Amino acid sequence: MRRLIKCIAAARPKNLPHFRMAMRASSSVAVGEGGDVGKIVQERLYRIIGARMSISPAIARFVVEQTKRGSTVPFLARYRRDETGHLDERALRQLIDMAEELQEVQRRRAFMLKSLKSRGLLTDELREAFDKLLHLNQLEDAWEPFKEKKTSLSHRGREAGLEPLAKKLLYTSEPLTDALEKLRSVTDGAKLFQAIIVEEVQRCDEVRQLMLAECRQSGVISSSLAAAPRKKNAKEIGTDAFETLKKQFAAYENRRWSVQRISAHNVLALQRGESKGVLLVKMIPHSRSKYTFFSWARKKFVGFQRQEDPKATRLLNQCLEAAYENIMKVTHNIIRRDLKKSAEKEAITVFAHSLRHILMQCPMRNARILAMDPGVTKGVKCVALDENGGVLTRFKCIIMDKANMRDYISGCVEKLKLNKIVIGNGTASREVADIVADTIEERGLSVEYAIVSEAGASVYSVSDVAREEFPTLDPMYRGAVSIGRRVIDPLSELVKIPVRSMGIGMYQHDVSEMELLRALNRVVESCVTCVGVNALISNRYVMEKIPGVTKPIVDQIVLARYAKKLKSREDLRRVPGMTEATYQQVAGFFRFPNSTNPLDNTNIHPESYSTVQKLLELYGGKERREVGNILLNLRDAELRDVASRIGCGEATLELVARELASPALDPRSELPHAGIFRRFPPKLSDLKPGDMLRGVVQSVTTFGVFVDVGLHDNVLVRGVNIDTVHTGDPLDDLRFEGVDQLGRVRLRYDGVLHARGDAAAQSHRRGLTLESEEFLSLGRLTTPEAQPTLSDSLAVVREERQQIFASFSLQGPHEFARVAATVTNGSGNVVKPLKRPRTEGGVHTAAAGQTTMTAAAAAAAATKTTKTKTTASSSLTDKAEVAAKAPRSKKRRAGGKRRVTPSLVSEEHENDEKKQIVGDTLRWWRPEEETEKSGLTTGGVRAVKERTPGVKRPRTETLGPQKVLQPPTSTSTKESEESEPIFFF
């Protein structure tokens, strides 16, 4: 339990006391055995959420209760910031998800405790242990050994009366010889007895945590190609298809990854290959794991000592072998599950990040477009669109008849006065682009072309939405209409397409469909509410994406619009089916540009119109824009004074000030358009190494970005900062390096991001921070430097993975707290999180290249804080000075291990852990007595005895089974992160 407290404290060190209070309060609350969550349990939930997120329980209670009453996240994030403690949209969703998970944990816990009580297995210690588990995965893992399996051998053994005999053997030193006679009298007595022994060992939480820690630290995942498809895959794929798959996954033949360091895309690739039956994936534990388990089991259960009867000894060895195999099987399943879950979260995070920037691309105003959907068998489908996306004409060309195709294109462009040509990036798109470029050059057309993504266009063309929108148009032309409209107004058009069909994700078909759709739909809702909806011209599909607006309400809005009864937000209140509660939730997201009230075209909610009127009266009837600029230039104290004088919250006043200063500003106005418009495409045959190209980012992944530079295929570019490059961004300074042996184009990015007027730059130029602009980076009312990036989001996911890998057990924590949670720069931004410490010879060190806190550094830190001199600290300081003057090769011998900066030690951990300098060695103690009795610390590492540096420990002196948690000195694992991965999209 305390280990979880310290993990949370590592992320938010300032909030450790609050979390401690929440845990003490939660431990005193008895979990009810019914399905209802009582008021006391609900208050416990709010305290836990508040402690995790560094907010007060009152804020957590307000958000959860408002959500139950129907309030939407965008509404709370924008119009209830005073009550929510200025939480942004992402934090609110995190809070709501956390509340849902805790409520599900409460429900499952009540069921488990009820089941244990009915079977007579529930004890006070077990109830308290289950009560401390706050994550669903941890709860299910702890419940696994207690599941009833009436058809199992252990159940049959208990019915045969062998359970008392098995427990007596395990927990006493009574010989097994006398019990062999009873086993012979029972049918399959030895097997039933062995099954009971195995289950009892598996129920011991210490052994499960020990083996989990061992496999997570030193385990290896290996993959190899299957010789033939499995039986369940043989019917689905033939021999030829199987051989093709083997070629695709050839890079995964005889590969190995460390469990701790395997990347997300490799996990998903292995999962895909295994599901198709072409890869054999397995977990390989360290060779010492079996010895560790046997050694620990013989110390934990006295019955496993050597018996006098050889038959009894043989039976016990068989029990140990079976218990080891069973526990390792469960351990491997848990590790594979955790890796899969973490990898799916990373893939979903990348997908959502790319989708946000695709939806928020700048609309192309006053563009008359010729949209072309390339094809070979069915020809090239062409549709001409006006400025509003209306269909002007349509025709079809055959790509083989180039002369006729040029005549059609030039005639349509000149007759309809088109100024842009948009080509879908499907089959034969490059051939069509060559014909278009030749036509522009030969005919002297004043038009540009661009190749844009056509992902989802074919799905849209046969959907109910397309049939409803274009009932008389041939389906093959509907796709061309979608391709052209997504350039005119990307948000309004792309919301019609199923989000999974966008084709911008990483392994999007291998992740949980429910979780993916949930995350992507949230992104769509966030973007729509960020931009706002023009109630007079927006299509119905955009309005349906506003949280709280149902399809019947949209039908009534459309009818009122056609009847010219919808001119202002007040008219929206009178739409049939629009209740007062619904109106309050959605009114702020609708825009009415032609309303008599200018505030109807801003983000200001109708409930704050009176606040605007008070401000105008307060400032003597000045213009709205001038009042907004005045308020933005006020100091915090002056702003609070104005808020108190007019009777509104500070956050509401800030929103009003921004909207008055810059009303009706579209946050997409200076973001990049879809695609790069060209007049002449580059040709691969004309390129030479060193030539510079310009492209547009098509997809962002954790291992690089895919860029369209006008060649036949998108090119993978590595070394690009994924925090500054987004899907849809143009990239300059792409250096052509040639073509590799596999025919892949190699590019190197050695420039800077193309000048894009992003939201932060726009805000800086205007001298104000717009609420809608900050939605682009998932942050609100934060400085541009503090806005979360893709790396920040991925870091959160990976930190959750590390916390899962460090999950605590029922019997208490088995790990020390981190020596230091994070390292920050001067502005408070996290630079690099420090990893959990490990132990080496009695001194806790940081993992993988981190520094070590030695006694000298501890003494120096103590001298700074307490300004006292002791004999021990002075002697240690002298040693540190000797080490500083010594040559580099002798520093470690003179001063011990490398030093860590004393300032990196968390103050909270200084209060939690008792540090003592014993024998010139810094030793970390935990206050729990039960830990000292069990002798387990970090992941099962026994608390070591103090010793003096310079005195070598004899080789015969070992730490027992816990020593297995030390990293191996050498490994044969091939780290695949440095190798060329296989990419599937």
Please say if the pLDDT value at position 654 is more than 60: yes
**20 plus 99 within the same structural domain:** yes
Q: Decide if 407 is inside a domain.
A: yes
Q: Decide if 175 is inside a domain.
A: no
Higher pLDDT: 770 or 265? It is 265
Q: Decide if 509 is inside a domain.
A: no
Which pLDDT score, from 0 to 100, does residue 178 have?
A: 66
C-alpha distances in Å from residue 366, one per residue of 256, 358, 762? 55, 20, 22
Q: Decide if 71 is inside a domain.
A: yes
Write out pLDDT tens, residues 714-753: 788 877 777 677 777 777 778 787 887 767 788 877 765 4
**830 plus 958 within the same structural domain:** yes
Please say if the pLDDT value at position 469 is more than 60: yes
Q: Decide if 543 is inside a domain.
A: yes
**822 plus 960 within the same structural domain:** yes
**740 plus 847 within the same structural domain:** no
**637 plus 572 within the same structural domain:** no
How many structural domains are present in the chain? Answer: 7
Which CATH number characterizes residue 584's domain?
1.10.150.310
Please say if the pLDDT value at position 914 is more than 90: no
Mean per-residue pLDDT of the chain: 72
Please say if the pLDDT value at position 839 is more than 70: no
Which pLDDT score, from 0 to 100, does residue 759 have?
A: 38
**828 plus 958 within the same structural domain:** yes
In order, the DSSP letters of 689-738 are: TT-EEEEEEEEEETTEEEEE-SSSS-EEE-S--TTT--TT-EEEEEEEEE
**pLDDT, average across residues 947-976:** 37
C-alpha distances in Å from residue 723, one per residue of 60, 720, 927? 31, 9, 43
CA dihedral of residues 771, 772, 778, 783 (deg, nearest 10): -40
**545 plus 443 within the same structural domain:** no
Report phi then psi at 955, rounded to 5: -60, -30
Domain final residue, candidates 284, 310, 339 = 284
Which pLDDT score, from 0 to 100, does residue 300 have?
A: 80
Question: What pLDDT band is residue 481 in, cutting at 50, 70 and 90?
Answer: very high
Question: What pLDDT band is residue 709 in, cutting at 50, 70 and 90?
Answer: confident
Q: Please name the residue that has the structure tokens 């995350």.
A: 519
Please say if the pLDDT value at position 450 is more than 90: no
Which CATH number characterizes residue 412's domain?
3.30.420.140
Domain final residue, candidates 488, 512, 547 = 488
Please say if the pLDDT value at position 640 is more than 70: yes
Q: Decide if 794 is inside a domain.
A: no
Domain final residue, candidates 85, 109, 135 = 135
Write out pLDDT tens, residues 554-566: 999 999 998 888 9
**258 plus 378 within the same structural domain:** no
Q: Are 304 and 298 in contact (CB under 8 A)?
A: yes
Position 154: which residue type? S
Q: Are 278 and 312 in contact (CB under 8 A)?
A: no
Of 344, 387, 383, give the one whose Cα is nearest residue 364. 387
Higher pLDDT: 759 or 646? It is 646
Residue ranges making up the domain that contains 622: 603-661
Write out pLDDT tens, residues 391-436: 999 999 998 888 999 999 999 999 999 989 999 888 888 889 889 9
Write out pLDDT tens, residues 579-638: 999 999 999 999 999 899 999 999 999 999 999 999 988 888 788 888 888 888 888 898
**591 plus 631 within the same structural domain:** no
Highest mean predicted confidence (pLDDT) among 178-192, 380-394, 663-677: 380-394
**555 plus 628 within the same structural domain:** no
Please say if the pLDDT value at position 156 is more than 90: no
Q: Decide if 173 is inside a domain.
A: no
**840 plus 921 within the same structural domain:** yes
Angstrom distance (rounded) from CA 292 to CA 961: 5
**953 plus 822 within the same structural domain:** yes
Q: Are 590 and 537 in contact (CB under 8 A)?
A: no
Q: Decide if 922 is inside a domain.
A: yes
Angstrom distance (rounded) from CA 844 to CA 925: 11
Which pLDDT score, from 0 to 100, does residue 751 have?
A: 63
Q: What is the 3-state secondary structure (H, E, C) of 173-211?
A: CCCCHHHHHHHHCCCCHHHHHHHHHHHHHHHCHHHHHHH
Which CATH number characterizes residue 751's domain?
2.40.50.140
